[in-house]
Chains A and B, each alone.
Chain A
Amino acid sequence: MGDAESVGLLEKKYSRRSFIKGVIAVGATASSTGYLLGGAQALGAQMPGATERLITLNINGQDRRVDVLPHETLAMTLRYRLNMTGTKFGCDRAECGACTVLIDGVNHYGCSMLTHQVRGRAVTTIEGLENPDTGELSIVQQAVLEQGGFQCAFCAPGFIMSMEAMIRVNPNPTREEAAHALSGNLCRCADYDKILTCAMRAAELARSV
């Protein structure tokens, strides 16, 4: 990493914005230091009372100290600051579910929350499902492996997180209930039938534990 990455915070100018098209952007935004940590400068916020940038996140059971911009989304932080690329950008607009993570065990779109909103909450990503010591796959992952789920699998991490959330809430779903639980995840390969079989099998395995 060279000096080029160490960019100081620039003066931020917030001009009056009109909400009419044609708004002029003035000045550059403060940069993060690219996708890897480095060159941390003036981590305090500019405005008194505003959220401080350096925060502690609980990711997959581990506390991580991260420099996070106020306007940064969780998916961006995971992928570009923490190098956890299992969570995917499918649309960045809460319209596909590829970025699904668990917040306190409940599935959310990681692209549509600010990282600062998950301080103090347990974040679980696809990387956190397997046993960190033994590498044993989680029950959902085992079910997917057994049933051969997914094709291109770009949607897989998001779906698996939604399945995890589902079995915590509804351990004995009907196929229809499972389909509803997973209805916030899109699969363009349209492997839905097999994915549903995986979800039902995951629930079955979970019940037998």
Chain B
Amino acid sequence: MAIIRDMIPAFELFQPNTVDDALALLDEHRDEAWVLAGGLDSYDWFKDRIKRPAVVVDLGGIEELHGITEEQGGLTIGAMTSLTEVVNHARVQSDYSVLATAAEHVATPQIRNQGTLGGNIAQDTRCWYYRSGWPCYRAGGNTCYAAAPKAMNREHAIMGASRCVAVSPSDTAPALVALDAKMTVRGGGSPKVHDAEDFFIGPAIDITRMTVVKPGDLLTAIHIPAAWANAQFYYEKVRDRGSWDFQLVSVAAAFQVSGGTITDARISVGGVAPYPVRLERVERLVTGTTGGESVVNEAGELSVQGARVLRHNDYKIPMMRNLVRRAVRSVA
């Protein structure tokens, strides 16, 4: 069979109006079904003719998945809420600005208008071997091309690898980790709520997916608790170009600061592992300090301890280290 990378293969389209209907469709069509949110991840797979579901379930018409509501002092963001809506929401901007900033760094305005928060965090990795349809571990095969000695792996992981060295590409994921966000996933049975850190899984847990969402499940909402409202935030994304590009490395941090002293911290780094990395040891290190230069340096060094580089991504060590330093330094 020859390969052509153009023209979406035919599928049947379902546009349910409720989550229950969507779940029923997923249950009925099993591994023939594909969940469509904003589509910016899906259409790439379809147009490359690598993923060819017989059935596509479009969530766009499900009202209960759209919108941002205030709940228990925090926010509940429907999984199908557009990134633009997240960026522009008054309370996200006023109280949880790290999420607004992170969401604003995604790709381009058009993609943010259409792309959803749920889709952004549930998106598949961008390892170019995997995305080109090569039969690697993540694709069900038995090798990792990106980890080969001569492979091109500049954008791959320096930690958390387990046979697969791809990274989590989501810009909002580190911000959500830093906000102690929780995700509601519905599938067979009652809805489950996952802490952000548990929502994003690594290849050691399941090499074929990036999150706990299994085929047949639906991510329905992202909850931002009140805990980190109005904290001091820091976000930075390093990338080659100013738009479209995924991160090389990014950092999202939240600090509770009282009288100049850090009383609590959350620091998460993206682009370095198959999931957003939460730097718990660094958080403990900086808590109780004023974020002065010696703590800043120590935090940076600690954050990259244990990093294991591939041939082309050694630079991620100083880049990650420096971004963590900048996050901590921002408090002072």
Q: Direct contact between A and B in the complex (CB less than 8 angstroms)?
A: yes
What is the interface of chain A, defined by CB distance below 8 A to chain B? 12, 14, 16-25, 29-30, 45-47, 49-51, 69-73, 92-95, 97, 100, 106-109, 111-114, 116-117, 162, 165, 180-181, 183-184
- In the complex, A95 Cα to B56 Cα: how many Å? 23
A117–B135 contact, CB under 8 A? no
A21–B139 contact, CB under 8 A? yes
**Chain A: which residue is nearest B88 at the CB level?**
A169
Chain B residues within 8 Å of A18, by CB: 140
Do A112 and B1 form a contact, CB below 8 Å, given A51-B14, A107-B110? no
B109–A20 contact, CB under 8 A? no
A71–B109 contact, CB under 8 A? no
Distance in Å: Cβ of B13 to nearest Cβ of chain A: 3
- In the complex, A20 Cα to B13 Cα: how many Å? 23
Q: Does B60 contact A (CB under 8 A)?
A: yes
Chain A residues within 8 Å of B113, by CB: 106-108
Do A109 and B111 form a contact, CB below 8 Å, given A45-B12, A50-B13, A73-B8? yes
A94–B110 contact, CB under 8 A? yes
B53–A20 contact, CB under 8 A? no
**Chain A: which residue is nearest B114 at the CB level?**
A108
B52–A17 contact, CB under 8 A? yes
Q: Does B314 contact A (CB under 8 A)?
A: no
A24–B6 contact, CB under 8 A? no
**Chain A: which residue is nearest B52 at the CB level?**
A17
Distance in Å: Cβ of B299 to nearest Cβ of chain A: 31
Q: Does B58 contact A (CB under 8 A)?
A: yes
**Chain A: which residue is nearest B58 at the CB level?**
A117
Distance in Å: Cβ of B21 to nearest Cβ of chain A: 9
Chain B residues within 8 Å of A25, by CB: 1, 9, 52
Contact code string B129-145 (vs A, CB < 8 Å = 1, else 0): 00001110001110000
Q: Does B11 contact A (CB under 8 A)?
A: yes
- In the complex, A48 Cα to B114 Cα: how many Å? 28
